Structure 1
Amino acid sequence: MTALSSALSVPFRVGSALRGARVFHPRGATFEGMAELESSWWPQQILRPTPVIARVSRGIGTPDGMPDVLGLAVRFASKTGPWDVLLASAYLPGRVTLVPARSWSSARYSTLMAYRTDSDPTPRWITAVPRGQHPSSTTSVQALEAPLEFSLLVGSARGPLEAAGRLTLSRRLPEKNSEQPSFDPTVHCPGFVDPWPGWLVETRRDAYRASRAGRGASLARPQHTVS
């Protein structure tokens, strides 16, 4: 652990302990669904189509009606284990500029980290855009109802976003905290993808570990199985 990542992990541990929940995105709704991956960019180890578990959440927990940084966490099934991809509301076509959204329908999501694959060494960000019916006047978690659909896109730092498939969340899961999966894009990251840049991976790994420790959570807690 570097001095920087160690220093940054402390407030995550303390904040999670005081809040009794995640420091960021403490309130959310978990869904089952499927992802139709329609781009050759996706690694071949990802199932086609791939079952997913996803969590849609509010980043800070501002009062309903106020803008908030919204989140979309997706766990893809692969032949070698889960792949957790975390996205947050951002300015598109930019990549990593976080932007608070006023409603679920207006949010545009992007990963903070880019990914490189065995077949494509160029760092590319994964983005998601709501399609169909999403609550248009609120960021209330209670307003989220299945099905929720998203268009998936990928793009490099300077290139255009390219269509990459569709994500459909078809069933909302129980909200008991003990049954909520802990998403971690640094632990649940198969060897066939390479998160970029490397320094951000280490910092995020320590922050997520500290947050789980602060609230007494574990990646080994019971999780839903996708079938």
Structure 2
Amino acid sequence: MTDLPSVLSAPFRLGSALRGARIFHPRGATFEGTAELGSSWWPRQMPRHLPVIARLSRGIGTPDGLPDVLGLAIRFPLDSGPWDVLLASAYLPGRVTLSPARSWSSAGYSTLMAYRTHVDPTPRWITVVPRGEQPSSTTSVEALRGPLPFSLLVGSARGPLEGAGTLVLERRIPESDENQPSFDPTVHCPDFVDPWPGWLGTVRRDAYRASRTGRGAILARSGRTVS
């Protein structure tokens, strides 16, 4: 009997093959930046100040001027390996209700899955909110220029969002869409955090793998130098 994750991953493999690109978030911009982690929620294995690689992207690719589900992928380079955190524009203070945004400045982002740590067993979602000046009348990828500042927050399903630090995307990396790194939150996840719920992680893992297979891509470049 075919298992459910394999059945669900088939459309991602086919869709990426037909499109020749990521089935979702095919257009994006990659940045180098820094994160300042200002909350005790972050695992002690993570430095309080660290460089990041991040990608801002458009989920569907609607014409400019129309709302789109925007994406933000963040890679934290750790001694144990990279931690990829993927977020999408969502209704905040809700956690997992995707919400199309009309501009980069109006998008608030949330992880679709929560995380538990060895210290804090409560599932908490990571959210990111734009600060300062960002493109306010467009979702065009071409309009994105650094520096782009954000606030980091974390929150449980029912509790308020609490400040967790800052993120600044400082320099845009001039790469074409096909050469931009692939982020995978199921493969690139340290053992001191636990994505929740577990069954959704299995479905996402197979979907990401199928999308890469469909477009002939390799796994995210985990060894990239971040300066």
TM-score (norm 2): 0.97
- Unaligned segments of structure 1, at least 5 residues: none
SS at match of 1:115: strand
Q: 1:213 maps to what in 2?
A: 213
Post-superposition offset of 1:78: 1.5
Runs of 5+ in structure 2 lacking a partner? none
Q: Work out the number of aligned pairs and report it.
A: 227
**What are the within-5 Å matches in structure 2 for residues 1-227 of structure 1?**
3-177=3-177, 179-219=179-219, 224-227=224-227
Q: Which amino acid is 1:191 matched to?
A: D
Amino acid at match of 2:156: S
- Determine if contact 1:58/1:70 at 8 Å carries over to the other structure: yes
In 2, Cα distance between equivalents of 1:41 and 1:168: 20
**CA distance, structure 2, for counterparts of residue 201 and residue 86 of structure 1:** 12
SS of 1:51's partner is strand
Paired letter, 2:150 = F
- Alignment check: 8 A CA contact 1:114 1:197 kept: yes
Distance change >3 Å, CA 14–CA 177, structure 1 → 2: same
Report how far residue 47 of structure 1 moved.
2.0
Q: Distance in 2 between matches of 1:144 and 1:118?
A: 37
Tell me by how many angstroms 1:48 deviates.
2.3
* AA in 1 matched with 2:98: L
CA deviations 1:161-216 (Å, max 9, x no partner) are 00000000000002234531110000000101000000100000000000000000
Deviation of 1:219 (Å): 1.2
Map Cα deviations across residues 54-86 of structure 1 (whole Å, 9 max, x no partner): 000000000000000000000012121100000
Amino acid at match of 1:165: G
Percent identity (aligned): 78
Q: CA deviation at 1:45?
A: 1.2
Q: SS of the counterpart of 1:82?
A: strand
Deviation above 4 Å: which 4+ runs of structure 1? Answer: 220-223
Does the aligned pair in 1 maintain the 2:32–2:226 contact within 8 Å?
yes
Amino acid at match of 2:166: R
Cα drift, residue 109 of structure 1: 0.3
In 2, Cα distance between equivalents of 1:2 and 1:96: 28
Give the residue type in structure 2 aligned to 1:56.
L
- Is contact 2:27-2:177 (8 Å) kept? no
Question: Which stretch shifts more, 63-72 or 73-82?
Answer: 73-82
Separation (CA, whole Å) in 2 of partners of 1:219 and 1:13: 14
**Partner amino acid for 1:133?**
E
The amino acid that maps onto 2:165 is G
